[in-house]
Amino acid sequence: MKGWKVTTHDLCPPVKVGPPIWGGETPFTLPRVECDGGMEECAAGWNFCIAPETAFRIAGLWPNGRPSRLWLVDDLGESVQRGDKVRAPALLVEREATEMEVWSAIEALSRSFGPHLAEMVREQILWREALSRPDHDADAVERGLEIALHARGIEWKLKRFDSARDAWAAWDAWAARDARAARAARDAWAAWDAWAARDAWAARDALVVLFVGRQGWITTTPEAFTLGIRDAYRSGLELVLPTGPQELGWTMEVKP
């Protein structure tokens, strides 16, 4: 039985996390493990799905803030299918999915968007590309954040920090000095949880606002959570969060 397995960008399990599964070379036979033959949908064994869109639905398109990877696998003649998932004691990883296969899987996953299907598929692909951080341009990140602030109607200054640790330390120090002001800034910064080191949530919330805006369910500009911020991630943004009164701190991704 052939199917599809998802890993993180660095080949780790996307749901339970853990170390890399293997080095990424294909074809590759994963080592034999204990395989639970019970009726539970989630149990011990190498897990995969028959349909690629199901694998994406369970594992996510960007579970750790980076685009996940889709792999074609074969159960080598031994598997147990329970619900949406299949598990086997050993698994052959044949190859990574092509761009077209990824696009088709996302399209199948997005049927519920109805008349907005084409746009929502395109937007998800664009977010996957942006979250891969293909560029490293601090000036472009700052321009993107300025656009994002303007789109949200917030007039704050930007401050770059050398590391995420320094940015979080600035937030902690501010919150310790003036907890009420820090909370007010957090509330003013729409979708705080999405923006505070949660790039995966930023993409999700941008897509939600886009869809409900296109549906006419809100008066917010549909692109409000996409403008600027996606370009900033594409240019190498790692972390962004309030770090002081009317101040938005940010850091660049550390390149190897």
Sign for the pseudo-dihedral over CA of 211, 216, 220, 221: positive
Segments making up each domain of the chain, as ranges = 2-109, 118-252
Q: Which one-letter amino acid corresponds to residue 42?
A: C
- Whether 186 and 249 have beta carbons less than 8 Å apart is answered as no
Q: What is the model's pLDDT at position 193? A: 42
Q: Quick one: pLDDT at residue 188?
A: 59
The pLDDT score that the predictor gives to residue 255 is 76
- Supply the pLDDT for residue 191: 45
Q: Residue 254 has what pLDDT? A: 86
**Per-residue pLDDT in tens (0 to 9) along the chain, 256 residues:** 899 999 999 999 998 878 999 999 999 999 999 988 888 888 888 999 999 999 999 999 999 889 999 999 999 988 888 989 999 999 999 999 999 999 999 999 999 999 999 999 999 999 999 999 999 999 999 999 999 999 888 889 999 999 989 988 987 888 788 777 777 766 655 444 444 445 677 888 899 999 999 999 988 889 988 999 999 999 999 988 888 888 999 999 987 6
pLDDT of residue 32: 94
**Is 50 exposed, middle or buried (CB count within 10 Å of its CB: 0-12, 13-18, 19+)?**
middle
For residue 99, what are the contacts with CB-CB under 8 A and spacing of at least 6? Answer: none
Tell me the whole-structure pTM to 2 decimals. 0.87
d(C-alpha 43, C-alpha 241), whole Å = 38
CA-derived radius of gyration, the chain:
21
